[in-house]
Structure 1
Amino acid sequence: MEPGLENHFSLARYWEQGDALSHAVAYVLLAMSLVSWYFILAKAYASWRVRRGAPAVEAFWSAPTMGDGVAALEAADPEQVYLPLARQGAAQLAAPGRATLAGEMGHAEQVTRVLRAAIHRSTMRLESGLTLLASIGATAPFVGLLGTVWGIYHALSAVSAGGTVQIDKIAGPVGEALIMTGIGLMVAIPAVLAYNGFNRVNRLTLAELDAFAHDLHAYLTTGDRVRKD
């Protein structure tokens, strides 16, 4: 741009000419972006730790005793996704019969109940934050569009009040208002991509978790044996 020419398309001009609603939309988009990137980075680190600990399931089955298997998972599963199932399995081997509602169930049914509860807790850990990412990805473009529509409305109102229609009086405010739509997309796209990526990692992890629970159930319920670590 040549020196002395005014830039009609700038975020600074949009901010200066905006009202309370325009500023509120910008603050909302900023908050959504910060929250989104916080969860993206936190979930990416947690997912990396989960996938790094997945081979520990094989180490569990290679251990000589249940106690050694649990110890191997404790060392290699920092996110405690697979570990709760092993701990519940060890507790089922060591727990004597108690006068409770659960104690009146058969051994296989008790194992199924505790493993199902452990899978549920692990699933909640894996899926925490995903609903928020999906919500941000779905709503951020519309929040930006609201800022754009409001900015265009003000631009047209100013032209109408002036009584004359000049393209330079319209192009600048309209172009500045379109910035909010672009910002909304910039907030939404990373959230959507991260949500899809984390869902894929979770599907893989939950499939492995279900297989581990099935094998553990078979170990705890097959045959008439008593194991002591």
Structure 2
Amino acid sequence: MFSRVLTLFAAGLIALASLGAVPALAQDAASAPPVAAQEAAPAAPAAAVGTETKENPYGLMNLIKNGHAVDQIVLGILLFMSAGSWFITFTKLWDQHKIGKEVREAREVFFKKASLADGVKALPEGSAVRYIAQTAVEAGDHHEGTLTENIDRNTWVSMKVDRAVSEVNAKISSGMGFLATTGSTSPFIGLFGTVWGILNALTAIGVAGQASIDKVAGPVGAALIMTAIGLAVAVPAVLGYNWLLNRNKAVMAQVKAFAGDLHGVLMGSRLVKR
């Protein structure tokens, strides 16, 4: 539980950093004077005493402090989606690593035991492989019931093992839908902020009666910031989704191989007893 909370906190910090990186780069690029102006300007003194850094009136901080409610809502949604994407990516990577390690260790321990009961006890508590093994053993031992007896033991055990494997797959695949949703919708949410900023710019021009730069620069700057942030949220979500999907396939292949070997051992032990 503590690791999940720590991961959530780290994901929030990464989301804040990613959302602020693009506007900061744009602000630095906009504030830098042209090369020709730098060459023509006289050399500045080595140290200016008492100079103050003026806050950019068209940057991200100004948008957060003085922006419209719609702009702030859009930023909040993008921040939530970015933090959720990073949190899911980190937690799923940990779950995949954990299950893959459990399967590798189970192959070295489980199949070397003298009995299935000893093999189950040798597996770590609460692990996915122990859950699958315990489900298979219980299905083989308990095949009673009027309706259940209509299914032969081999099919019954196969059904129970497949269901246990499907539950493990559902566990490590949870949250993938959020990544897919974030990757597909966050650019459009940023685009909505862009459209809203352009609408504000046109409205300011219409009210003022003239297209002065101070009436246009602020809303258009906010619009461009929204577009950049939407893309910055979408790209890591899409990359994380595809990466986790491929890793899930590899991990589940190992889990299914372990379940298949377990089923074969369980059926072979029944034949030996008979």
Name 1:121's counterpart in structure 2: 167
Separation in structure 2 between the aligned mates of residue 38 and residue 190 of structure 1, nearest angstrom: 12
The equivalent of 1:102 in structure 2 is 148
Contact 1:56 1:72 in 2 (8 A): no
**8 Å CA contact retained: 1:9, 1:176:** yes
SS of the equivalent of 1:91 reads helix
Q: Is the 8 A contact 2:96 2:251 kept in 1?
A: no
Tell me the secondary structure at the aligned position of residue 123 of structure 2.
helix
Residue identity opposite 1:82 in structure 2: V
Give the match for residue 71 of structure 1.
121
Gaps in structure 1 of 5+ consecutive residues: none
CA distance in 2 between counterparts of 1:102 and 1:4 reads 78
Tell me the distance in 2 between the aligned counterparts of 1:129 and 1:4: 43
Out of 15, 29, 42, the residue aligned to residue 78 of structure 2 is 29
Letter paired with 1:186: A
Range with greater deviation from structure 2 (145-154 or 81-90) = 81-90
What residue is the counterpart of 1:89 in the other structure? 136
* Structure 1 residue 131 displacement after superposition: 0.8
C-alpha contact 2:137 2:266 (8 A) present in aligned 1: no
Structure-to-structure mapping, 1:1-229, within 5 angstroms: 1=31, 7-59=56-108, 60-74=110-124, 80-95=127-142, 97-167=143-213, 169-222=215-268, 224-226=271-273
CA RMSD of superposed structures (Å): 2.4
Structure 1 residues 158-167 or 204-213, which shifts more? 158-167
For structure 2, list consecutive stretches of 5 or more residues without a partner in the other structure: 1-30, 34-51
Secondary structure, counterpart of 2:144 in structure 1: coil
More deviation, 128-137/33-42 = 33-42
Q: Is the 8 A contact 1:8 1:173 kept in 2?
A: no
Taking the aligned partners of 2:137 and 2:273, their CA distance within structure 1 comes to: 12
Relative to the length of structure 2, the TM-score reads: 0.72
Structure-2 change in CA distance of 1:99 and 1:6 (3 Å): closer
TM-superposed CA distance for 1:10, in Å, is 0.5
The percentage of counterpart residues that share the same residue type is: 35
Tell me the TM-score normalized by structure 1: 0.85
Q: Runs of at least 4 residues of structure 1 off by over 6 A?
A: 2-6
